[in-house]
């Protein structure tokens, strides 16, 4: 789904999300004091490109460096935690090193189509079904 540019205001957030796949499973993370798994990534800082945002957020949250990034798609939905409209720019990301919970991240998990954990709507409803359809993660 292509996202039209919307006028930025207090009710709209723009973020980048890393799609990290290993052995046909997808990495998701859970922040401290929450029960919903989300993608690694975060808000784009002023003057920052999407790739710069991904590099910074991935290093902060899961302690690894990005080696390569390829644009996947952008999605618009209500945010899992902020009750604002969020635009997520999702990127396939390859990383150096072993991912681990860092900073505000409490837990990481590698999931497939059958994993039963609560996952935020954009990844649950948009990203994971497309990854399954493209046979990039297991059913």
Q: pLDDT digit string (tens) for 16-61?
A: 999 999 999 999 999 999 999 999 999 999 999 999 999 999 999 9
- Domain regions of the chain by residue span: 12-133
Q: pLDDT digit string (tens) for 74-129?
A: 999 877 666 788 899 999 999 999 999 999 999 999 999 899 999 988 999 999 99
pTM of the model: 0.88
How far does Cα 119 stand from its chain's mean position? 11
Give dist(CA 34, CA 36) in Å, integer.
6
Which H or E run contains 78? strand 65-78
Backbone angles phi, psi at 54, to 5 degrees: -60, -45
pLDDT at residue number 93 = 97
Instruction: State percent of the chain over pLDDT 90.
Output: 76
Give dist(CA 19, CA 114) in Å, integer.
18
Give dist(CA 120, CA 78) in Å, integer.
10
Considering the segment(s) 12-133 as one domain, its CATH architecture is Alpha-Beta Complex (3.90)
Place of tokens 């994993």: 115
């Amino acid at each position: 789904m292509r996202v039209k540019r919307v006028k930025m205001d207090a009710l709209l957030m723009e973020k980048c999300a890393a799609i990290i796949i290993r052995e046909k499973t997808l990495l998701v993370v859970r922040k401290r004091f929450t029960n919903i798994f989300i993608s690694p990534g975060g808000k784009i800082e002023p003057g920052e490109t999407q790739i710069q945002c991904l590099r910074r957020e991935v290093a902060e949250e899961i302690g690894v460096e990005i080696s390569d990034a390829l644009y996947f798609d952008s999605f618009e939905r209500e945010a899992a935690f902020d009750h604002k409209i969020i635009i997520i720019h999702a990127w396939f990301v390859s990383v150096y090193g072993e991912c681990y919970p860092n900073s505000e991240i409490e837990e990481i998990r590698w999931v497939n189509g059958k994993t039963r954990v609560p996952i935020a709507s954009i990844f649950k409803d948009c990203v994971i079904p497309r990854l399954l359809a493209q046979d990039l993660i297991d059913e």
